[in-house]
Amino acid sequence: MGPSTSIYLYAPNIIGYLRLLLLAVSWTCVSQPSIFVVFYSASAALDFLDGYLARRLKQISTFGAWLDVIVDNIGRTMLWSYITRWSWIIISLEWSSFVCTHSRGSNWKSSFERAPWLVTKVMDNGFYTPLGILVVLGLHVLPLGLYVLQYPPFGLVLDKYHVLLYTGIGMLAVGRFVCALVELWTVLEHIRHLVSYDIDQELSSLTDDLQKSRHNSTS
């Protein structure tokens, strides 16, 4: 790895590393919600800044996009693991979906060309649709909302505005459920891709063996 490569990996993605640092700091005070929310929210805010600067300065890279998703997953894993002991289901599905999509490299989005109606509606226009926005909010905001409502004085807000908050949490839960369906589809689609690849390889091997056998019999 030469000097230019090192600069490429570190300089344009410095915000991503800063986000990781903020997440690490927030984890040390996860039992102090007023402090935790500040550092966690700062990391999330830098995510939007990072994306804006990358597009504005035309410094979008495969590594940067990968790092961005990794940091997001780490942050949500941290939150879900603290909220409930059943979070392993959500965490496992989220990381499995990440592995299944990004294992194909920069062309991973091509798998969505054959996606069902619900998946395509979520992915349309880069998530900038009502359903896409609901899914993104459910993915990112729901775990943070559930976290803060566990603690006073945040819990007092629930008593005062319980109808509004329960409605909001319910909508976010619907968004996260739809997101889970999309994640599940990506896992099943990747399994289909792997099985299809194995079958093609096996057929190719059988064809080669048959051709060799015919060649040997005629020689």
User: Do residues 123 and 130 make contact, with C-beta atoms less than 8 angstroms apart?
Assistant: no
Q: How far apart are CA 45 and CA 77, in angstroms?
A: 18
Say which residue the tokens 């344009």 belong to: 12
DSSP reduced 3-state for 167: helix
Per the annotation, the verdict on 72 as an active-site residue is yes
Q: How far apart are CA 173 and CA 170, in angstroms?
A: 5
Q: How far apart are CA 113 and CA 201, in angstroms?
A: 24
**Which member of 47, 50, 68, 72 is catalytic?**
72
Q: How far apart are CA 99 and CA 11, in angstroms?
A: 25
Active site residues: 72
